[in-house]
Amino acid sequence: MSKVIRRAFSVFNYDKEEQWLNEMADQGLALTDVSPFTYYFKESAPGEYQVRMQFLEKKAEHQETQDYIRFLEDTGIEYIGDMFGWAYFRKVRGEGSFELYSDTAPKVKQINRIMFTQIIFFVLNLWMSIENFDLYFTREKVPTRLVIAILTSVFTIVLGMGLWKMYTKKRELKKKDNLFE
């Protein structure tokens, strides 16, 4: 039996997405494919698979990424697909532990890549918000300008909160890493 679930996760909650995918696997639904906001599952033995996600440095079609995926596949890890820069992998649980990162440094590097892409959106939205408020209050009293300014402001705040969450997660990882050195 196949099942399709449409669900959206914020880039800042990738850990919750991964947790949800593993909960689905625990319920006997193995991830088989991904597309924008859509997850495809097939029935499997409960807990048969473990799922991991990784934010790719380069597009999935890039040769270096393809080589990396082949390397993982040679170790028994199955590549499921990619969505919005994230690669999805699964491995049979009985074949040993499944971690894509052996230490903290690559996790911090992944968070830095996520933050960099989101900072670009944050700055653009902040600029659009300021520009639209300025136009509305100084030149054009067009209501759509005010609506756009408010919406971009809300989106800027949401992005800012997500960036803070990523920064906090990065700081905790670094602190944890320093404890073990």
pLDDT tens figures, 67-82: 999 999 999 999 999 9
Q: Which of 8-12, 90-94, 104-108, 125-129 has the lowest mean pLDDT?
A: 104-108
Reported as a single tens digit per residue, the pLDDT across 81-121 is: 999 999 999 999 988 778 888 788 888 999 999 999 999 99
pTM of the model: 0.84
Amino acid at 17: E
Question: What element of type H or E holds 26?
Answer: helix 14-26
* pLDDT band for position 161 (cuts 50, 70, 90): very high
Q: What is the pLDDT of residue 160?
A: 97
Please enumerate in sequence order all residues whose Cβ is within 8 A of that of 136, keeping only pairs 6 or more positions apart, or say none.
142, 145, 146, 149
CA-to-CA separations, 120 to 36, 37, 167, in angstroms, rounded: 21, 22, 15
pLDDT at res. 179 = 56
pLDDT for position 180: 56
State how far the alpha carbon of 99 is from the alpha carbons of 64, 107, 132, 150, in Å.
20, 11, 46, 42
- The rounded distance, in Å, linking the Cα atoms of 48 and 22 is 10
| 125 against 96, higher pLDDT | 125
Sketch the domain layout of the chain as residue ranges: 2-95, 104-179
Q: Specify the length of the chain in residues.
A: 181
For the chain, the average pLDDT equals: 93
